[in-house]
Amino acid sequence: MIFYVPNTFTPNDDEKNQTFYPVLSQGMKRTYMEFYIYNRWGELVFESHDPSYGWDGTYGPNALECPIGTYTWKLKLETLQTQEILDFHGHVNLIR
């Protein structure tokens, strides 16, 4: 099983590093993913079930910019070989 989750991203309209998402490589089922981003108060600010759809640093129906800071991510993936659901978590720095 191979995947990568960056620890920092910069959604500042410079066309580089605009979106935060896990990069799935080998051993993971691409049709099953749960990806959540929480602010420092534990409020959900982003959710995705599509490996190609990542967080752009905004929240809510009006796409308000999230403040610079550290956010917690949670990721659930299914392995191809055993169909086991695995939980991962970490932090990401949002810098503008």
| Per-residue model confidence as pLDDT tens digits over 14-30 | 888 899 999 987 888 88
Q: What mean pLDDT comes out for the span 8-17?
A: 89
Kindly report the CATH number assigned to the domain that includes residue 71. Answer: 2.60.40
Range of the structural domain that residue 19 is part of:
2-94
What pLDDT sits at residue 65? 96
Contacts of 92 (CB under 8 A, 6+ apart): 5, 6, 7, 8, 9, 20, 37, 70, 71, 73
Pair 36, 72: CB distance under 8 Å: no
Report yes or no: 76 and 83 within 8 Å, Cβ to Cβ: no
The domain tally of the chain equals 1
**49's tokens:** 């079930």
31-50: average pLDDT: 95
Mean pLDDT score of the chain, rounded to an integer?
92
- Lookup result for tokens 């409020």: 43
